[in-house]
Chains A and B, each alone.
Chain A
Amino acid sequence: MSCDTFKPLLMGYLDEELTALEAVRVEQHLEECHDCTAELDDFRKLKEVTRNMRVVMPDDKYWDEYWSNIYNRLERKAGWILLSLGSIILSAYGLYWVIAEVFLDKNVHPVIRIGVLTLIVGFCTLLVSVLRERFFLSKSDKYERIKR
């Protein structure tokens, strides 16, 4: 077998992660291959120099807050959804009421009726625009992080 097959196994040998059988095969190869022996030696030195090194961990307080941060944001998210749902239901009812009571009532002064109509058209335009933006955003960037 060529050296290339053994290179990854050198890692397992160095880190003592091989089965006994694999380790024996690597040792047999090392006995007859100077290159792999030298390379293993370099890797061993690298491992030695970084032996006691760790990636710096965030302080404990970050880990203590980690889950509560997530929980609060999930909860807030649920709150927002309910809030939006409620406002949509109430707005729809309000709209129905205004149209029925004011706009279709011939006794109301025409200026007020035109004003109410303009208000409704404006409100609907804004609503559609906001919904389209949210929909577009969630489609194009499914995993985009949520801004806090």
Chain B
Amino acid sequence: MNPIEEGSAIERCKNGDREAFGLIVQKYMKPAYYVALGYVGRPDDALDISQDAFINAFRHIKRFDSSKSFFPWFYSILKNLCLNHLSRSRRRKEDSIDQMVEEEGQSRIPVETVNPEQGAVQRDIEVRIGKALQRLRPKEREIIILQHFQDYSYQEIADLLGIPIGTVMSRLYSARRELRRELERMGVRY
């Protein structure tokens, strides 16, 4: 779907056409999922929250300026939902210290190797990298997931997040530096 087709789909959404919104959702559901995963860290939560964000976006679509591109606007809705979710689960964690200890030890972004060769060793590295990712700040995690693990180009990321390419690079730099630091701290050698 090119920007012109996207614009006309948005116009139809503004007239209440739910089918047209389907085209928008199909186009952006995966990046929405990655962004949510970057924030909340759990795949099932990321699926849920990204869907909620699309529903909120459709409900408020009249406020969207259709001369702009959809995702940066949608992104602010999605980010708000993610932050709400995080502050609520943080509140829940404070209620139960046991659970916090348990989650600290276990939570990680699930990563897997395409065409795995080494078996157990490789799986161990995957687990450690997943844990290290979980320890990054959301903004860092987000850009690492998009660029490093999903091969989005700098231009694609800049368009999705509505930031200049220079910002993509400087964020990527600090994110990768943090990831290296976390891996070092966990004793991963490579």
Contacts and interface: CB of A to CB of B under 8 A. Distances in A.
A54 B114 contact: yes
6 contacts: A46-B179, A50-B111, A52-B113, A54-B113, A58-B43, A143-B77
Range, interface on chain A:
35 or more
B154 interface: yes
Nearest to B183: A46
A145 B49 contact: yes
Nearest to B37: A55
Contacts of A53: 111-114, 126, 129, 149
Contacts of A56: 43, 110-112
A66 B49 contact: no
Main secondary structure of the interface of B (DSSP, over half): helix
Nearest to B54: A70
A41 B147 CA distance: 19
A146 B172 contact: no
A86 B73 CA distance: 34
Interface of A: 7-12, 15, 17, 42-43, 45-50, 52-56, 58, 62-63, 66-67, 69-71, 73-75, 77, 141, 143-146
A116 B26 CA distance: 54
Contacts of B119: none
Contacts of A141: 84
Contacts of A71: 18, 22
Contacts of B29: 63, 66-67
**A-B complex: 6 closest residue pairs judged by Cβ atoms:** A8-B169, A56-B110, A8-B170, A49-B190, A145-B52, A143-B80
Contacts of B37: 55
B22 A11 contact: no
Given A11-B169, A145-B49, A17 B22 contact: no
